[in-house]
Structure 1
């Protein structure tokens, strides 16, 4: 029996203006939530404070409201987010998770720089037994290489192994900030999320997060259903990024594009050559599942 979907989330990062690829993911999330009578949480990932800009925070709310994409839980504006919903308010939970992994003896300290990791065949810090509280050291999870079971939206169980380049991935950065992978797992468990929608490029992250949840002893994570959707790409075939200004909703709005123009543009990039007026209609033309 497939477990019901009660809670899902949209989780933008305020490190750039939202683009049409984000909107595709939000539309699918909202459609699946409505179909399952589930609640949508707006969870804004702002752990990387050095990259956060209030303009980008404001853009999240402006864009969602402009395109009439609904959410049920979470902040309604920047002030509410900063006062009550920022990941800074959940730092205690993240550090507790790091502490649990340390107590289990399944992490090691790493002093490799990014340059060293790019040029070296692999990290050798595990054998060095560097103290976990060493200055300027990140912490890495000792991964197992086991096959992990991931539950798809349809209820199918897919078995997958962590890609080689993600073995022993970082759970706490050199500056002491928890990693995206760890914070995402902790947040999804904290908010009782049981459906996660993300692009197909984040499949390796999905595998890593299952590995991490099992290491934490959080078997509930294995019940979450995952929907990985195709990506929108540039003409070159490269995936869209927040630096691609011409596909940002802010740019399109400033150049006179209405919501229907934006949804139609996304549809055409997916091979649908007709007018699309809303996120519901966009989701409906992507798949009969929606």
Structure 2
């Protein structure tokens, strides 16, 4: 079969730049906010808006009782290691402010949170859909919570909107440059990231890493997801990468979105088409 790719990379529903999460372990907040923002862009036929990662980093662990559950925390930056699944459920139950209303800091605090913002718009989603495919390593599957679907089911959703997903981080992933994998002094040509190299140990400081899935394809008989990362544009192929498909797990995406607040907008028309010209398709069955 010939090589091919579908990607939302240049779609107007994504933020037109690569963000950098800096030292804070808030990857789950970045993938969640852009997944929600993209859904807003599709359903409201508007440009995407940058939503507040800081709100998720600050408030979501409090709402989900991370301290009482004994969740791990970065002591230097006072932020919890979280999950995009939890963050999406937070967007469903609480809603997300825009970044301008709740701007980013370089730490998370237990005190001195912004005052309630009743006049600011919040973006709330209708539900969170979690899916898995049979080729994902069993230890990363959550059968009780994830719908078993096919690759084609997932592709149909990705024609319309991105998904959040997780990947185990190895040094080869950290060093991935789109076409090259650096392992010591050796250089391997690998346009698609193929996973662990040799006896690499997982990078425990990341505790798994959340990314945005924006497309899929096949290269040299390898099926892959096209992802958007938040490690700046010097990582991967200017912030993007092709990753072997079965390496990504915890797939989740939002469905339905609305705004609350005095300045909330009404949807522009009904059944707004996706960026690919087709209406939304669900992956779950």
Regarding TM over 0.5, the answer is no
**Superposition TM-score tier, normalisation by shorter sequence:** under 0.3
Say which one has the larger Rg.
1
Higher normalized contact order (CA 8 Å, seq sep 6+, divided by chain length): 2
Higher helix share: 1
Normalised by the size of structure 1, how large is the TM-score?
0.26
